[in-house]
Structure 1
């Protein structure tokens, strides 16, 4: 009689370390945060043991690389802007983008200012609460949502918020930092 196929022992392909009984979870699977979170954690861990001079070189290099990638992304964003969709949204779309900018950071930073030691003055808190442009990561996630859902409305609203953010922070960066400098000139954070 032949062997019963149901009773045959299944062979498990060996793992990389030839121990099939050991399965090592990947970091991004363990925290269930995806590849972006794993990359963030790895970058933070990589940053820990560096010296000040190496930090300066790394910062300059990182800024250069960021600029090289930011410009093409924003050119592509400009090419993909849904002008007709924005017109269809009307004033409500612009109002929504304004509300997002006002209530995205300020309501979180203002109550938390007492917990964050560098934010001792009201000017510090307001500056940190205002600035926080919505940029390249938002473009990535907005296109991901559109790809997964097929919703054109999601792209219209997301792209409008992104562009209003870029314009609002770009226009207010110099005046607000000058105002901040004038109000805090000669004052230390411990004052």
Structure 2
């Protein structure tokens, strides 16, 4: 199974990824963890450029994300799926739709087509979207990278982009209330994962 975690910065996504990975390890599930951007030597170099470079135009940002994603899919995700491993991704293609397609205004359909090119049409089987109000997310952050520092208006657009994606693919997305306490959220994620795994 290919599982991704999505959410605006400060949603608690990273914490839930860690708890979920611990759960998989304790229960003997053979998994591979990846993060975006990054996950490969080339991807990590791209990550450094994306999160630290100033004056980057939106098209450059998108194309760098896509380059990192293409490398990740071909060299890590597809081989792992071929070996029947569970993939856990901290962000995947939906992030580009929400951040660059919707919030940056590059066009949702344009970004979806480019994602399909970069990934060969690969999508997660299950996507956990952790939703929190932007004000809450910002209050949780102490350090901001280039994209995180865009501010409240930008992140509200990103959040709206994710919610539109949920409407389009309700069978793949699981909406999670990120305001709930960490363990409550974690238990809900595990329950959803186990339900899907048993199908």
Same fold, TM-score > 0.5, yes or no: no
Structure with greater helix percent: 1
Asked which structure has the greater RCO (Cα within 8 Å, sep 6+), the reply is: 2
TM range (shorter): under 0.3
> Given the two structures, how large is their TM-score scaled by the length of structure 1?
0.25
Structure with greater proportional strand content:
2
